[in-house]
Structure 1
Amino acid sequence: MSTLAIMGFLMVIVFMYLIMSKRLSAMTALMLVPVAFAIALGFGPKIGSMALDGIKKVAPTAIMICFAILYFGVMIDAGLFDPLINRILKAVKGDPLKVIVGTALLAGIVSLDGDGSTTYMITVSSMYAVHRRLGIHPLILPAMAIMQNGVMNILPWGGPTGRVMSALNLDASQVFVPLIPGMIAGTLWVLFVAYRLGLKERARLGIIKLDHAVASEMAATASVDADADNLKRPKLFWVNLAMTAALMTALVMEMLPLNVLFMLGTSLALIINYPKLSDQQERIKTHAANALPVITMIFAAGIFMGIMSGTKMVDAMAKSLVSVIPPSMGPHLALITAFASLPFTFFLTNDAFYFGIVPILVKTAASYGISPAEIARASLIGQGTHLLSPLVASTYLLVGMSGVDFGEFQKFTLLWSIGTSIVMLIVALLLGVIPF
């Protein structure tokens, strides 16, 4: 293993240790750890350019998330989600078990668009007030959202599948369709986890009897202001709903870049709901407190990724991971790829894995009679865990909107997410989609 590879793995380990042990915040660790390792490797003079390259790559995402938080913050203030929350409350009747399972189902439905950021924004915006009012453990909401999104991330338009299909010149019928039973099993696993966590929360909290007054109070808690009632715009409900539906439609159809869509949407939302300039400024000021921590972490992640790429640590890590596979294990390379996809997609970006490593694995597997499609399917198994990686920008949006600590969130969710990948792998193996 090369020095660059060793330092790359060590850097990721040090980073994970520092944030999980709460020695440093995720933001500071994302910046300071790679800088320290780059200096140790002799890249000191190039740190600035490498970091700036990384920042440029994440800037569009940061802009999108900033304005998405502002947009949904304004919609929450205006009361757009109050009817939905009240309906949910009526259906779940104060039962934490039903709330948690419902959250997982909602995340699954919203995840059909293949975009993690959209899933998190809609799921958290819709369910946060309900979870908070019932006193459900704060880590459960983001855990359900990210676990379900991890399964649906395998959709051809979700990103990873598109990457591997383009890298290997395959189509959806060869890669995605055979994995559908595994995705169904993964979804059932997420619902099982939701049920287990729901039972624990029901035992801890009991079933709360909610009358109409309490339901109204819970709907009001969706706003971050003490003067929530003054911010409600019930007469504009249908206008706001139509505007949000149009925004989501334009997002799915990719009519404009995501960041531009949310910038325009935020402008319209502010003007329509709060015509006075002073009210608009107050809304921006209020929700900027939610947006700023998320944006700073995304830019910090840009530095982390920029230095990993600029120093070629990512390339060295990829080559070293492939080289450790002994020739005797060649006939089982598809199974090895499936297991290896968990750390691969956690420590590396999807681009680095699917464009850098998977083609190498395919070439090696060909000599053992393993088809490119089988390797492609195996490489997607790790998506059940991938979204917990510190290199995934949308996860910072989820953490920020849910108001939880990144390290605590990883510790709480990681084993359950690994379980998702294992369940999908078992089904794929039993059906022969991935050979032993």
Structure 2
Amino acid sequence: MLAILGFSMVCCFMYLIMTKRMTALIALLLVPIVFAAIGGFWTGLGAMMLDGIKALAPTGVMLTFSILYFGIMIDAGLFDPLVRFILRLVKGDPLKVVVGTAVLTLFVSLDGDSSTTYMIAIAAFLPLYQRLGMSVLGLTCVVNIASGIMNISPWGGPTARAAAALHVDALDIFLPMIPAMLMACAVLMLTAVIIGRRERARLGIVDVEDFANGELALGNGDAEECARNRRPKMFWPNLILTIGLLTCLVLGLMPIQVLFMVAFGIGVTLNYPHLQQQKERIASHSANVLAVTSVIFAAGIFTGILSGTGMVDAMAQSLLHVIPDSFGPYLAVFTAVVSLPFTFFMSNDAFYFGILPVLAQTATTYGFTTLEIARASIVGQPVHLLSPLVPSLYLLVALAKVDLGDHQKFALKWAVLASLALLVGGVLFGGFPFHRAQ
């Protein structure tokens, strides 16, 4: 019953937001409470929700100050040269814009942090899409999937979790999967070409000469306000500060929340030293901050109830119980396939620490190694980053100003295609076998 309740709750949530009957914020707040009440979980319900909020509080702090930091950098014009350079390359061709989006996002995603990737990619490309009249859903789709592919790097979350759960080395999981990652990147480029060709057929090649010469639509407000907020003389200090911040993030010198708080303090003081200027810049980004952080804390209620009631554990066990014995020799591929829905309907922590050890233990009886199962388990990451349980997804849609349900409907099929490319690549290049004879 708990498993049925859990799956029903997630499906109800997805239905409500994809049909636009509720916003993600309201659905995250009310749907889990209703289903917890149906299950009779009145005692301790408040504590469950508070535990979930506490677990996501560091993420909320990080997103608050990262949005403010990159917002200040956008206002100051840090990304203007990058946008002009891209415009000179693409020359108003929507196909080249989408392909360029995919290429840049793959490189930016090397740090393994999807939130940082989204902020940089959206800041660089959103003005281009808006100026050319292109669908912003194409932008969010490509950026989301690129981040999901690169998320399986050793310093990314899923590979590190799989390594910790199965007591193996993250590099041993990652290195044999590099050819599969390259296949997934090729599929992403194909996706970008298809989306780009559709946009080119719809819009044609647009003349963007004036735009390329400096009339950039970056920042908040009208063109006059954007120009007033630019700080071209601060380009190099801002670039050095941003590179230093990203370097510290990759090296893990300090907690990411602290790094963004400190970097924001330095950045806003360098660019806008007067108190009134600082107040205006912070106020101009407050809507984006509120849109993201409110949903993050609401997601804490959703995940808190999902975990506290035991629904997530019941969901995991029920799925494991339906595995027929005939699937034994194919457990590696089976693990790869089920990683798509498993990591979509539950958090990475629940999958990698709750389900993966059971799958790996079962697979060893059929001759599989734990490393093979670990590699198969990371195949679903492009789909995982579309999950409503991933906090950074709300940052992406808020920055791009698109509807969450629209984004999921548009991107899901392409994300599944990228995951299947990882699966095929993993089998073809020896990451894990298709069949293990007993």
Which of 222, 225, 233 lines up with 2:221 in the alignment?
225
Shift of 1:412: 0.4
What is the distance in 2 between the residues matched to 1:68 and 1:416?
A: 28
Q: 2:329 corresponds to which residue?
A: 331
Per-residue Cα deviation, 1:199-247 (whole angstroms, up to 9, x for no partner):
1111111111222x3224542x101122111111111111111111111
Alpha-carbon deviation of 1:173?
4.6
Q: 2:71 aligns with which of 70, 73, 76?
A: 73
* Partners of 1:43 and 1:218 in 2: CA distance: 57
CA shift for structure 1 position 31: 1.1
Is 1:107 aligned to residue 99 of structure 2? no
Q: Measured at CA, do residues 270 and 174 of structure 1 come closer, stay the same or move farther in structure 2, by a change above 3 Å?
A: closer
Map of 1:240-255 to 2, 5 A cutoff? 240-255=238-253
Q: Tell me if structure 2 keeps the 8 A contact 1:51–1:302.
A: yes
The 3-state SS of whatever aligns with 2:154 is coil
For 1:225, the aligned partner's letter is G
Q: How does 1:1-40 map to 2 (within 5 A)?
A: 3-40=1-38
Aligned to 1:201: 199
Q: Deviations over 1:355-385 (max 9, x none)?
A: 1111111111111111111111111111121
Alignment partner, residue 299 of structure 1: 297
TM-score normalised by structure 2 residue count: 0.97
> Which residue, out of 168, 173, 176, partners 1:175?
173
Answer yes or no: is 1:274 the counterpart of 2:279.
no
Inter-partner Cα distance in structure 2 for 1:89 and 1:173 = 38
Alpha carbons 1:7, 1:37 under 8 Å: kept: yes
SS at structure 2 position matched to 1:44: coil
Q: How does 1:88-237 map to 2 (within 5 A)?
A: 88-211=86-209, 213-216=210-213, 218-219=215-216, 221-226=217-222, 227-237=225-235
One-letter amino acid of the structure 2 residue matched with residue 80 of structure 1: L
Cα contact 2:180–2:429 (8 A) shared by 1:
no
Render the CA deviation track for 1:336-358: whole Å, top value 9, x for unaligned.
11111111111111111111111
Alpha-carbon RMSD:
1.1
Q: Which of residues 396, 399, 403 in structure 1 aligns to 2:397?
A: 399
Give runs of aligned pairs for residues 355-366 of structure 1, distance below 5 A. 355-366=353-364
Tell me, yes or no, if the aligned pair for 2:108 and 2:117 is still in contact at 8 Å: yes
1:333 CA displacement: 1.2
Letter in 2 for 1:240: N
How far the C-alpha of 1:430 sits from its partner, in A, is: 2.4
SS in 1 for 2:136: coil
- TM-score (norm: length of structure 1): 0.97
Task: Confirm or deny: 8 A CA contact 2:84 2:214 kept in the other structure.
Answer: no
Deviations 1:5-36 (A, max 9, x none): 11000100101000001110011111101000
**1:111/1:119 contact within 8 Å kept:** yes
How many residues end up aligned between the 2 structures? 432
Q: Conserved in 2, the CA contact under 8 Å of 1:31 and 1:303?
A: yes
Q: Which runs of 5+ in 1 are unaligned?
A: none
- Identity rate of aligned residues, in percent? 53
SS of equivalent residue, structure 2 residue 285 = helix
Contact 2:176–2:430 (CA<8 Å) still a contact in 1? no
- SS of alignment partner, residue 127 of structure 1: helix
- 2:273 counterpart SS class: coil
> For each residue in 1:317-338, what CA deviation from the matched residue of structure 2 results, as whole angstroms up to 9, or x when unmatched?
1111111001122111111111
Q: What is the CA-CA distance between 1:315 and the residue it aligns to? A: 0.6
Worse-superposed segment, 414-423 or 224-233: 224-233
**How many Å separate the matches in 2 of 1:6 and 1:214?**
54
**2:369 maps to which residue?**
371
**1:419: Cα distance to partner?**
0.4
**Aligned with residue 289 of structure 1, among 273, 281, 287:** 287
Secondary structure in 2 matching 1:139: helix
Structure 1 residue 423 displacement after superposition: 1.3
Q: Which runs of 5+ in 2 are unaligned?
A: none
Q: Look up the match of 2:308.
A: 310
**For 1:288-334, what per-residue CA distance to the aligned partner results, in whole angstroms no more than 9, with x for missing partners?**
01111111111111110001010010111111111100112211111
How many Å separate the matches in 2 of 1:187 and 1:298? Answer: 29
Deviations 1:107-158 (A, max 9, x none): 1001111111111111111111111111110111111111011111111100
Native 8 Å contact 2:154 2:171 kept in 1? no
